[in-house]
Amino acid sequence: MITHLEQMIEAAKAKARKRIVVAYANDIHSIEAVHHTMELGIVDATLVGDKATIVKVCEDLNIQSQKFRIVHESDEQKAAHKAVELIIKGEGDILMKGLVSSDKYMRAILNKDAGLLPPKAILSHVTVIENPNYDKLLIVGDVAIIPSPDLDQKIAITNYLIQTAHRLGNEKPKVAIIAATEQMLPNMPACVDAAIISKMGERGQIKGAIIDGPLGLDSAIDKESATIKKVKSEVAGDADCLLFPNIETGNVFYKFNTKLAKGELGAIVIGAKCPAILTSRGDSALSKTYSIALAALSAD
C-alpha cells in the first residue's frame, strides 16, 4: 500500500508510459513537472500554448524544447479547447491545467459539444495529502469543484475517494463523513447526509470501504479526541478518506495543509473521460509532479 506521495512516483514508473496533454503550458512549474515525469519514464507530453513562450521557458530551465510535442495556440481559452480536442482524438490519456485559469479550463472540459464529460457524470476534485503530522496519506474531497454537494453528489464523491484509495493499494479504506459534530442532529443537513451515506456503506450499497459519519474532523483523525468523546467507530481517529460537507470546509483544509502544516499533495479531477489535473497556478512543481503520478495511476 502506498503511504507516501513519493511512492506514487515509483508505482507510476512501473507502469506503461501515459500521454499527457497540457492546456496552455506557458508556465515554469508545469513544464518543469512534466519534464521531470518524462525523465522518470511516467509520461510523454504534448504542450498546447504559445510556442515562443514555451521555448523561452524551456531555455530558462535548461530543458530541450524538442523533447516535447508543442502545439501552438496563443489564446488561453482556445488552448484549453485544443487540449481537450487532442484527448478526444485519442492523442492523450491525461489532461493537465497549465497557466489557464480554472474557469476556462473547466469550461473546455464541460463543453457540451466537444468536452470530456460523459452523460449524467459528476465531476469531483480528489486530493491526496501528505501531512507531516499524520501517519498516512489523507484522500479528501471535494475542495475545488462542487460548492455545496447534494446527497447524490456526496455519494459520487465518496465512491471517487474509495476508488482513489484502491488505486493506491488500500483495499479497505476508512472513510469519514465530516460534519461539525458526531451527534445526529436532524436540523443539520451535513449530519443527515453523513448518516445516510454511512448506512449505505454498512448495507453494501457503497462498496469497498468502511464508512462512518457524521464525524467531527478531530474525531476523524485524532484517536485521543475520539476516545475523550467516547466515539466508538472503526473509522474514528484513523481515517484514510475525508468527505467534506461543502467546498468551504474542504478548501480551507486543503490550503491549511499546504500553507501552514507544510504538507504536500497530488490532485486530480475524476468523472471525466480521462483524469484531469487541476492544481492551482501557484502550486509547486513538486505538487504538480505528484498530481501527474496520481493521474498516471488513475488512467486506464
- Using an 8 Å Cβ cutoff, are 201 and 194 in contact? no
Nearest to 63 by CA among 16, 25, 94, 95: 25
Q: In this structure, how many other beta carbons lie within 10 angstroms of the beta carbon of residue 110?
A: 13
Nearest to 49 by CA among 68, 13, 10, 22: 22
So what's the pLDDT on residue 57?
96
3-state helix/strand/coil string of 34-61: HHHHHHCCCEEEEEEECHHHHHHHHHHC
Q: Which residues make beta-bridge pairs with 47?
A: 22, 70
- Domain boundaries, given as residue ranges, for the chain: 5-120+272-298, 124-259
What is the chain's pLDDT, residue by residue, as a tens digit (300 residues)? 999 999 999 999 999 999 999 999 999 989 999 999 999 999 999 999 999 999 999 999 999 999 999 999 999 999 999 999 999 999 999 999 999 998 999 999 999 889 999 999 999 999 999 999 999 999 999 999 999 999 999 999 999 999 999 999 999 999 999 999 999 999 999 999 999 999 999 999 999 999 999 999 999 999 999 999 999 999 999 999 999 999 999 999 999 998 899 899 999 999 999 999 987 766 777 888 999 999 999 997
**Are 5-120+272-298 and 124-259 in the same CATH fold?**
no
3-state helix/strand/coil string of 90-132: CCCCEEEECCCCHHHHHHHHHCCCCCCCCCCCCCEEEEEEECC
Query: What is the amino acid identity at position 239?
Result: A
At the top level of CATH, the class of 5-120+272-298 is alpha beta
Give residue for cell 475523550: 228
| CATH architecture type of domain 124-259 | 3-Layer(aba) Sandwich (3.40)
Q: Which residues make beta-bridge pairs with 138?
A: 129
Query: What is the amino acid identity at position 22?
Result: V
Q: Which residues make beta-bridge pairs with 178?
A: 215
SS3 20: strand
